[in-house]
Amino acid sequence: MALLKKKTVRSVDIPTASQADLAFLLLLFFLVSTIIDVDTGIGLTLPEYIEDPETVEVPKDRMAAVLINENGDVLVDGNPTSIFQVKNNLKPRIVSKIELPSNKKLIVSVKTDRKTNYNAYIQALDQIKQAYFEVRDEYSSSNYGNKFNDLSVEDQEIVKDKVPIIISLAEPEAVKK
Amino acid sequence: MEFQKKRAKVKLEIPTTSMPDIVFMLLMFFMVVTTLREVDLLVEFKLPEAKAIEKIENKRLVSYIWVGKDKRIQVNDSIIKMNEVQSIMYAKRQSLPNIIVSLRVDKGSDMGFVTDIQQELRKAYCLRINYSATVKI
C-alpha cells in the first residue's frame, strides 16, 4: 500500500516588517551617543629646552612686547592698551615688515606674571593670532585675489614665508612678595 | 443628477522595501563617526573662548592634558603630579614623534601653573602644543 504523503507547505519567511524599526532604534542610539567633537584651539610651537640659553639682542623695532599683568592690564611696548586693541596695534607693524627679509620680521613677545589669569593670556594670544591671520588674508587677497585659506598650498607657503607668525613666550616673572 | 464617485485607478503606495537599507546606511555613517568617550574626566574645567582658532586635522596625533579648577592635572585616565608630566609625556612622544599636546586648561587658572606645565613639556620635547579653546561667536 502506498503511503500518501501529505505535504503541508509551511511558510518559512522571516518577517522583515520590523527590520526598519530595529535599524531605526540602532540609528537613534548612535545619533544620541555621537559626539562629533572637533578639536579647536590656538596652536603654538614651544622652543626647545636648553639649560642656559644664550641671549641674543634683538633690535627694538623688531620687537613688539605684549605684557599682561595679574590684573589683566595689557602693555604693548610700554603703552597701556585695552586687550581688544592689541590686534589693531600690531597689524600695521606686521604689514610694514612684509617685504623685509625673514630675519627682520616682527617678533611678538608675550610675557605674563605668574598670577596672570589664563583667560587673559588666551585673549591676548588670540588678538595676536587674529592680527597675523588678518594680515595674511589681506596680503593674499591683494596678491592672489583670494583669502589665505582658499589659496593653493604653494601660494600658502609663499604667504606664510612673507608673513611668518613669530610669537615668543617669555617666562613669567615671579610675583614680588 | 447623481455624482458618480470616482475611484483612483492607480495604486498609490510608496515603496518601503528599501527603507531599511537607507536607515542602515545612515546607521553605518553614525557608527563610523562615533567616538565613544574614551576617558573619564576627573577634573572640572571651562575652556576659554577665542576667535583665531585652528582645527587640529589629525586627531591621531593629539594627546590631552587637562587642568581643572582645583589645579589638578589629568593625563589619560588618572590625576598626576607636576613632576610626573615630563616622564609621561616623554614616553608618549617616544611612541608618537610628532605629537600635538592639547592643553585643556580651565580659564581661571594662573599662568604660572600653565608655564610650569609648558616647561615640563619642553623638557619632554613635546613642542607642538595647542591651547584648547571654544569658538567665540
Q: What is the pLDDT of residue A177?
A: 40
Give A-chain residues touching B116 at CB under 8 angstroms: none
CB contact at 8 A, A77 and A118: no
What is the rounded radius of gyration, in angstroms, for the C-alpha atoms of chain A? 31
A120-134, A141-155, B14-28: the lowest-pLDDT one:
B14-28
Partner residue opposite B133 with nearest CB, options A42, A116, A169: A42
When divided into structural domains, chain A yields a total of 1
Percent of chain B whose pLDDT exceeds 70 = 96
What is the band of B56 on the pLDDT scale with cuts at 50, 70, 90? Answer: confident
Asked if the Cβ–Cβ distance from B135 to A34 is below 8 Å, we say: no
Whether A112 maps to a domain, the answer reads yes
A148-173 per-position pLDDT tens digit = 888 888 888 888 888 888 888 877 66
CA distance A139 to A147: 9
Phi, psi (degrees; rounded to nearest 5) at B35: -115, 110
Closest approach of B69 to chain A, Cα-based (Å): 11
A21-37 per-position pLDDT tens digit = 888 888 888 888 776 66
CB contact at 8 A, A112 and A71: no
Whether A76 maps to a domain, the answer reads yes
Whether A56 maps to a domain, the answer reads no
Asked if the Cβ–Cβ distance from B52 to A48 is below 8 Å, we say: no
Domain that holds residue A102: 61-132+165-169
Q: What is the pLDDT of residue A173?
A: 65
Percent of chain A whose pLDDT exceeds 90 = 0
A66-90 per-position pLDDT tens digit = 888 888 888 888 888 888 888 888 8
Query: In terms of pLDDT, which residue wins out, B121 or A100?
Result: B121
Whether A39 maps to a domain, the answer reads no
Reported pTM: 0.75
Closest approach of B129 to chain A, Cα-based (Å): 5
Q: What is the pLDDT of residue A56?
A: 76
CB contact at 8 A, A131 and A91: yes
**Grid coordinates in use for A68?**
599682561
**Grid coordinates in use for B127?**
613642542
Closest approach of B56 to chain A, Cα-based (Å): 6
Query: In terms of pLDDT, which residue wins out, A100 or A117?
Result: A117
Whether A147 maps to a domain, the answer reads no
- Average pLDDT on A91-115 reads 84
Q: What is the CATH number of domain B49-135?
A: 3.30.420.270
CA distance B21 to B24: 5
Query: In terms of CA atoms, which chain A residue is nearest residue B113?
Result: A114
Name the average pLDDT for chain A. Answer: 82
Asked if the Cβ–Cβ distance from B125 to A126 is below 8 Å, we say: no
Is the complex ipTM more than 0.85? no
- Average pLDDT on B73-93 reads 87
What is the band of B125 on the pLDDT scale with cuts at 50, 70, 90? Answer: confident
Partner residue opposite B55 with nearest CB, options A16, A20, A40: A40
Q: What residue has cell string 592680527?
A: A131
CA distance A123 to A68: 10
Partner residue opposite B127 with nearest CB, options A19, A48, A171: A48
Name the average pLDDT for chain B. Answer: 83
